[in-house]
A and B are shown apart, each in its own frame.
Chain A
């Protein structure tokens, strides 16, 4: 056995023969191609006139770039508005949910109170309630509050799911209890312990939580479809899906919209890549 065998980082399968490595690269190459092809194809489609789309064999790379689809999208639809709405609601939901979930997570992780076990169990079970099954009562509740067609209709129900509480709790539980004890002996209030000691220590957890919440909000579709009926207040996903509802479908327009819609979340991913990788999420449901 050579020494090189044990040098590999993170290796589980220990002796990757050359042929195994080749197979691995081959499979990954196929995965990469399948992942990327639709993106390139809609990019190419969005730069063509819709009628040239139907010529066979297709022109993979348009010989002349046609910007009309993008011009139409930005001028004749409310695409910019939808993008703004999505980002605005996403940021508000993320900020509010971060505060609410962190506070609740701290109580569940480090404080003693009456009914703690029952509450933890109930909240854990509630994680499994499918949101799609709640749209009908939510519609009536939000309507009776007079909030249909407002941003509040998108923001408030998004704060209800307790998954984020457990995600943050798993970070707080692992901190030693002594941290708070000495501060409390010095007369610090629970709020100070929480904001000055706990929160700074779980920053990575807060970032993961924020990204997860924002992504969930950015990708949401069914609830905005139910709660918002005014086009100018709509979010990106529902707005774009409405482009397909015309009698003659403008495929060029839809390809341009789909491509542009991928940009904000892709940018976020590029900046915060190391937090995206989902391993921290799985800790949430274990305890």
Chain B
């Protein structure tokens, strides 16, 4: 029957048109995505088998980078430092932001000015926040040390002390990040169904019980986004380290991102840096996937 085949042909034409239209809409964004995100990830893998390349062509070295990286103490330390940092900064900023969000939710007057002020640190580039904190931490004129001298008589060398330096970096990041998470949590809390809380209260549930058994579980979607986003961002910590300690003292604040940067610009070893970068990509992707399954199941 000629009619059916014509119909099929017309349908095919239509489907082709539909696909072409859709891909025309996608093309510009996809081109940028492929060129500056997907291809660099592939290149990381290729570069992990190479050495050199900054001056002159890169050379193939097989598994040398991979073998070296698993016996490199500094690499091990940067990974430990980065995880140590994230394990301090993420819970700290979440708890502080949650407390601030609950407080904001409990007050009636002064909402807007307080929110505005709490958001100021979040607006600043982390680099500027870190530079500002040199004026908080400096041994001679840092405001925190002026306070310390008034209380204990002794200034504290926050950034020069190997066991204090990383917590101090985390403190700077928490100061900068708290406002962002406060607003996010506050929006989550204010979006919760109020009837449930009325019912819970009529049943005699106190504020703590309401918080742990209603607020927290109901905020799961917000927490999912928060945990994933915070993990991705915090495992790349670089700016504050670069400006405050440059990895020191004694590599105590050498993070993975810092080592990647140094391997290109100081150690002239892009292949080695690419290997470490590739591992970082894999770790972050794996964590993200695990987190999404974990949140979806519960």
Chain A residues close to B by CB (< 8 Å): 6, 8, 10-16, 20-21, 23-25, 27-28, 31-32, 34-39, 41-42, 45, 53-54, 56-58, 99-101, 103-104, 106-108, 111-114, 116, 119, 123, 125-141, 156-157, 159-162, 165, 190, 194, 215, 218-222, 225-226, 236-238, 240-241, 244, 251, 254-255, 257-258, 261-262, 265-266, 269, 273, 276-279, 281-282, 284-286
Contact = CB atoms under 8 A, between A and B. Distances in A.
Contacts of A257: 131
Interface in B83-108: 99-100, 102-108
Interface residues of B, number: 110
27 contacts: A6-B198, A11-B105, A20-B207, A21-B107, A28-B104, A28-B107, A28-B118, A35-B120, A35-B175, A35-B179, A53-B140, A53-B141, A54-B141, A100-B29, A103-B29, A113-B19, A113-B22, A129-B281, A133-B278, A136-B44, A156-B35, A161-B37, A218-B125, A225-B242, A237-B239, A241-B131, A251-B135
Given A106-B25, A128-B285, A251-B135, A24 B103 contact: yes
B17 to A, nearest CB: 10
A12 B189 contact: yes
A109 B179 CA distance: 31
B26 to A, nearest CB: 5
Given A128-B232, A162-B29, 6 more contacts: A13-B210, A32-B117, A137-B40, A160-B37, A278-B184, A286-B224
Contacts of B103: 23-25, 27-28, 31
Contact of B135 (A25, A126, A156, A255): A255
A238 B238 CA distance: 13
A159 B284 CA distance: 21
Interface string B225-247: 11011001001101100110000
Nearest to B192: A12
Residue of A35, A56, A104, A156 contacting most chain B CB atoms (<10 Å): A35
Given A133-B280, A190-B25, A285-B228, A258 B36 contact: no
Given A134-B277, A140-B53, A241-B127, A129 B194 contact: no
Contact of B18 (A35, A111, A266, A286): A111
Contacts of A113: 18-19, 22-23, 26
Nearest to A249: B134
B106 A20 contact: yes
A42 B133 CA distance: 9
Interface in B197-254: 197-198, 201, 207, 210-211, 215, 221-222, 224-226, 228-229, 232, 235-236, 238-239, 242-243
Interface string B4-35: 00000000000000110111011011101101
A273 B117 CA distance: 12
A107 B288 contact: no
Given A137-B40, A156-B32, A54 B140 contact: yes
Contacts of A45: 135, 141
A214 to B, nearest CB: 11
Contact of A136 (B131, B192, B270, B288): B270
Contacts of B210: 12-13
Contacts of B125: 218-221, 236-237, 261
